[in-house]
Structure 1
Amino acid sequence: MRKIEPFIQQLNYHTDLPTKKMLNNLVDRKRKFDGYKDKCFKAQLFTFTILIGFLVYLYVYIIQPSGGRIEFVISSIFDGELHLFIVLLIVAGYATAKYYKKKEDKAEKEFHALRCEVISKSSELWPQPTRWEKRHDVFAMMKNEYDINLFHESK
């Protein structure tokens, strides 16, 4: 069993153990989503940087000296092993970015679904007469500590 987050654990009288576990699961899914988002951004940045660098290199060292003769440009690109390696690196970076983007989208859907479930079940998780006032404190803590908005269902 995974350890419950310290801030969630401190909600002693604000909520019960199943709700704490649900909130902890929400934090885990948020971290998973943020991790994929970060990896996707790094892969996109890597691919974009390599692509721009390669295009500048092609222009300065191949296209300009050749006077724009297309047959010379194409033969120069395909003759160099380094050029082929860089093109493969760009393709691999693009594929990696696409892979992490799919993972990010899936993680976001899972996170958003659980977040909406917590919001919709809030009347069951915090019964009306006794704990309903504490619900706002829990929602504020989740927003401040974990950047998870439980006040509204919209993203």
Structure 2
Amino acid sequence: MSSNVTPEIEFASKWQAVTDPKEFAATISRIPDGPIAGKWGKRKFEYKLVNPANRRKYHVIVVGSGLAGGACAASLGEMGFNVSCFCYQDSPRRAHSIAAQGGINAAKNYQNDGDSVYRLFYDTIKGGDFRAREANVYR
């Protein structure tokens, strides 16, 4: 690069030198060649497969241990991947969606499950670290 040419001009001159569309497509190596209708099929064929034999070669990092992150980490671990799940809190059980029951809670009185309105009330108070106003929770 000469001293009187800025990097922007040099970059622009490289791209202006390609005038033929076929040459331009050839410079971008991620675009598969061939007709448009067959490009996706060709690209899928070129991808490396992740089969059960080589899943342990991959290390997956999951950031967050809430409902989605925990489910993702558990599912990938069951599938055979090496998984590390990172959380901001001191414990994965303190993630917001787990500590607040994910906003999913109901008192359904199925046979022999021991559920009641009192247990729902207690779980809601406990999930809020006993900071909730009990009168509002009980309504």
Higher RCO, 1 vs 2 (CA within 8 Å, ≥6 residues apart): 1
More strand by share: 2
Work out whether the TM-score is over 0.5.
no
TM superposition score normalised by structure 2: 0.20
More helix by share: 1
Which structure is larger by alpha-carbon Rg, 1 or 2? Answer: 2
